Structure 1
Amino acid sequence: MAVELLIIPCLADNYAYVVHEAATDTTTVIDVPEAPPVLKALNERGWKANLILLTHHHADHIDGVQALSAATGAKIVGAKADAHRLPKLDQEVSPGEKLAIGMEHVEVLPADGHTVGHIAYYFPEGGLLFSGDSLMSWGCGRLFEGSAQQMYDTLSRFSELPDETLVCSGHEYTEANGRFALSIEPENPNLIDRMENVRAIRAQARPTVPVELGLEKATNPFLRGDDPKLRAALGLPESATPVEVFTEARARKDRF
């Protein structure tokens, strides 16, 4: 099914996303750090937002929600578990539910770790994963509320999706995340090649997202807990479990 994806830079380094399904003229916005750039993009194309999907409660993902909803009439959808700290929701959802959006049946996935109550949205027909601040391009979100085990479980679930899935994360952090990955494995050719590509993209002031999940699985240290090369690079014993590898990598990233 053909959908058009817009990546809209907001604030200093945030992204909002718009998915437009031409066949049904359905327009969905995922997270709204600020309303004006999103409204501008919609107006330029003659689209009217029908739904706003929220991943989590942090201000840099929701501050523009009410203004966008007021301007367009879009209904606001978010996690039932997070409803007490989100803008007023028109529809509360829980992990495991599916949303009928146009011709899509969007899956609501649990994404605890960065926050508790964080959710993600998977569009199986469009091959799109809106991961908010859980799985990031070449990284993962900081553990503000959840545990390392929760984030590891979240990323493990995402890893089961098709490799061609496009990961749409909430920030332009790819180059910084890549510098961290290379600090652990400076001679890894996959990381070196990816960094060259990322720097070329950023030199043109283009977004580095979305990114294919298969590339994340090959290069993102937070998805490689079972890789013996990464485990050795972190100085962990052979007995270290994948979640222990993840925990060590996340602790190092916090200090990086």
Structure 2
Amino acid sequence: MFNVTPIPAFDDNYIWALTVPGSQAVAVVDPGDADVVNRYLKDNNLQLTAILVTHHHADHTGGVNQLSLEHSADVYGPANSPFEGINHKLSNDDQIELLGQQLTIHEVPGHTLDHISYYLADTTPQVFCGDTLFLAGCGRLFEGNPEQMIQAMAYYKGLPDTTEVYCTHEYSLANLAFAAAVEPTNPQITAAIKQCTQQRQAGLPTLPTTIATEKQINPFLRYNETSVKQSAEQFSHNPLSTDVAVFAAIREWKNQF
């Protein structure tokens, strides 16, 4: 597995730095800001060799071209991306070797149409999921539709419970406030709010989360739970007969929350 370090950027982004023991090589995920990455490299005497892009939004790609040019780093990203700085174009089920580790690509459109995730199968698996799955949340549907996003959520639900989830925004407390509105009697959500509040007060990231935790607290993975369905129907003032309809209702509710 990778040693993963968060590099904070902008107001709430995390650029993930991936290393392995015994090597000065590093890869970064979604570097929206080249300057913070360069400071991290200098402070830790590391050499950037690869950049992973999950989707084309500027807060994830804004530093890619500068970093690639300065460090001669390979840039991996979705084959269908409108971002032009990718020189290793990836599609569903592709595999890449990175710092001696094998990563599998999965297409997860919804937030954007070009969104992919990177999965490392290991004793402790790791997934780098950009803006699709968050702690207690999921990404807005800027380009895709609920059918696509629920397929992405089904993919994440199928990963091992021990999988560490590395999303790229510190949205946890806001997401948990919404999750508590959807399931006010869920004790796991209450416990997560307490833990994440303590972490933020201590200046610590709330990430990574795990798939096991998300199955307990994330309404966008719990769309087929009776409690979530009932809350979605109360919000929409209509009976909802499919999982996609429930998912779409809670996503719209979150947009307004």
TM tier relative to shorter chain: over 0.9
Aligned match of 1:134: 132
Residue 122 in 1 paired to residue 119 in 2? yes
Aligned match of 2:249: 248
Which ranges in structure 2 are unaligned for 5 or more consecutive residues?
Answer: none
Per-residue deviation, 1:23: 4.7
Instruction: Tell me if structure 1 keeps the 8 A contact 2:64–2:85.
Output: no
Aligned match of 1:174: 172
Instruction: Tell me if structure 2 keeps the 8 A contact 1:15–1:33.
Output: no
How is 1:1-256 mapped onto 2 (pairs within 5 angstroms)? 1=1, 3-23=2-22, 25-82=24-81, 85-125=82-122, 127-235=125-233, 240-256=241-257
| SS of structure 2 residue aligned to 1:50 | strand
Q: Cα deviations across residues 212-242 of structure 1 (Å, max 9, x unaligned)?
A: 1110111000001111121123236887322
In structure 2, C-alpha distance between the alignment counterparts of 1:88 and 1:27, rounded to whole Å: 19
Per-residue deviation, 1:104: 1.4
Q: Cα deviations across residues 66-123 of structure 1 (Å, max 9, x unaligned)?
A: 12122222111111111xx214222111111000113211001111000001111111
Which ranges in structure 1 are unaligned for 5 or more consecutive residues?
Answer: none
Per-residue deviation, 1:189: 1.1
In structure 2, C-alpha distance between the alignment counterparts of 1:105 and 1:198, rounded to whole Å: 31
Per-residue deviation, 1:25: 4.8
Instruction: Tell me if structure 2 keeps the 8 A contact 1:114–1:151.
Output: yes
| SS of structure 1 residue aligned to 2:233 | coil
Amino acid at match of 2:256: R
In structure 2, C-alpha distance between the alignment counterparts of 1:146 and 1:239, rounded to whole Å: 21
In structure 1, C-alpha distance between the alignment counterparts of 2:66 and 2:145, rounded to whole Å: 33
Per-residue deviation, 1:185: 1.9
**120-129 vs 53-62, which moves further:** 120-129
In structure 1, C-alpha distance between the alignment counterparts of 2:95 and 2:154, rounded to whole Å: 20
Instruction: Tell me if structure 2 keeps the 8 A contact 1:62–1:87.
Output: no
Instruction: Tell me if structure 2 keeps the 8 A contact 1:231–1:238.
Output: no
Q: TM-score normalized by structure 1?
A: 0.94
Q: How many residues align?
A: 253
Amino acid at match of 1:147: N
In structure 1, C-alpha distance between the alignment counterparts of 2:121 and 2:42, rounded to whole Å: 27
Instruction: Tell me if structure 1 keeps the 8 A contact 2:233–2:240.
Output: no
In structure 1, C-alpha distance between the alignment counterparts of 2:4 and 2:77, rounded to whole Å: 20
Per-residue deviation, 1:205: 1.7
Q: Percent identity?
A: 32
**183-192 vs 59-68, which moves further:** 183-192
| SS of structure 1 residue aligned to 2:118 | strand
In structure 2, C-alpha distance between the alignment counterparts of 1:46 and 1:242, rounded to whole Å: 49
